[in-house]
Structure 1
Amino acid sequence: MNTLMEMIDDLIHEADVAALPEWNGIPLGRPTFTYRHPDELDAGWDRWIALHGHFNSINASHMWHRSYTNKHRQLGDHTIDQFDIDLRCAAGAHQEHRATLGLGTICSCVGNCLTQLICSTCSWHHIGTENECVEAWHDHAFPGWRSLPVLPAKLRGQMGTTKLTPQLEDWFDTNYPANMRVPGAPIITERGPYGTRHVPGYSPFGGYDLSAPQEGNPE
């Protein structure tokens, strides 16, 4: 039974929802896969939260939301915004269907967890895993990055400093072309079989430190 305070909270929420302006933005409560400006995705997420609250919002909404690990950035002549989406069933949904319908496992998942990177400067986007999106974005913003020499792990120092030390500066001046030594440019670092995430902001130039496997280790 609801307490008096819970009933008051519900009435306040209903009043807040009734006062919201008419919605003409992106569809709510389902994923969109066509290009949308980051402002549109932010507005859609905010509208969902205003209607339904924060609790279980990521899973229940099946909508794009800002990544917690990568904020809006300007890298070179391009922008980058990262959004994530969870397309899986709610926890326990399968068991609930089995118990109430007696039909065995029923899966209503529309997918898995996905990432989207957006360059709003160019109305460009890519959807996939995080690493796939990062690589596609660099194809878009820094073509030719795939042919860059790999920085040896012993020079990188286990993802330590992001500063351009004299030793690193000498190595990059020798091995990287001038157009890959500009603000926002990435580097490629030798890595082991683990810890292979492409890390934003860890390039000495302010861009990504992109993962490359160590020689002899599996991809």
Structure 2
Amino acid sequence: MTATDVLTGQLDLLTLLELQTLPTAPLHFTVGHYRPDELDAAYEYRAKSDGRMGVSNWSRQWNGNQTGRNVTAGSAHRTFTYGADLRCNEHWRNPDCQCMGDLLYRVYCHDCDWWGGIHENENQAVEDMLNHCWPGWQYRPVVTSAVKPNGGYKFNVPEDYPKEWQYPGAPVRTARTAMSGRHVPGRGPWGGYDVGVMEAGE
């Protein structure tokens, strides 16, 4: 390889770097109003240089990898749940770590172009969204459910369950036991959130 070839290769690389377009969303934690696709692009951009573990541990960026999306066809409110880890990198190996920071969550409604508040609990973030998108959800009857032999869930919805709450994307409230109270996106009988309600005494 000649000196000219090396120089040409360097110039080509510099040209590519100059032409590379940075994501719209910042490569760090933000409270700004960015769409999920913008946050995803920023997360993927940084993951290319830092790796998956690096971007999760150091960037503090919002990402939907550990949460979920509720995008049932026909739903009036397609939602995206995002998390950000603001804890230091000692939290998982040092139980006495006293650093500031926590896992944070927020939910975006695509159809309203609306972000909910930032919460330290995923269920709270989901309920914030439900209050905005599905007012009155907390007054719906609680139903029971069971795991089907071939996978999935069977919901025991009574005949008098409100018809106006039986359409694509609508949430359902299900009775749960301890340690199983997470609000699960897309698992409800109408493709909406399966909202966990702790049974009395739990």
TM-score (norm 2): 0.77
1:135 and 2:127 aligned: yes
Determine what percentage of the aligned residue pairs are the same residue.
Answer: 32
1:150–1:189 CA contact under 8 A, matched in 2: yes
Q: Deviations over 1:114-168 (max 9, x none)?
A: 12211122121122121011111111221111111111x4xx236875346xxx3
Report how many residues are paired.
Answer: 184
Supply the RMSD in Å over aligned alpha carbons: 3.1
Residues 21 and 72 (structure 1), Cα distance of their counterparts in 2 relative to 1, 3 Å cut: farther
Q: Where has structure 1 moved over 6 Å in runs of 4 or more? A: 14-17
Name the SS of the counterpart of 1:71 in structure 2.
strand
**Higher relative strand content:** 2
Q: Which runs of 5+ in 2 are unaligned?
A: 1-9
Q: How does 1:80-159 map to 2 (within 5 A)?
A: 80-91=79-90, 107=99, 109=100, 111-126=101-116, 127-128=118-119, 129-151=121-143, 153=144, 156-157=145-146
Residues 106 and 145 (structure 1), Cα distance of their counterparts in 2 relative to 1, 3 Å cut: closer
CA–CA distance in 2 between the matches of 1:84 and 1:16? 35
CA–CA distance in 2 between the matches of 1:16 and 1:66? 33
2:81–2:108 CA contact under 8 A, matched in 1: yes
1:17–1:51 CA contact under 8 A, matched in 2: no
Give the AA of the match of 1:136.
D
Give, in angstroms, the shift of residue 24 of structure 1. 5.8
Name the SS of the counterpart of 1:210 in structure 2.
strand
> Equivalent of 1:70, from 64, 68, 93?
68
1:183 and 2:168 aligned: yes
TM-score (norm 1): 0.71
2:71–2:186 CA contact under 8 A, matched in 1: no
Give, in angstroms, the shift of residue 182 of structure 1. 0.9
Q: Deviations over 1:80-126 (max 9, x none)?
A: 1121111011238x99xxxxxxxxx884x4x2111221112212112
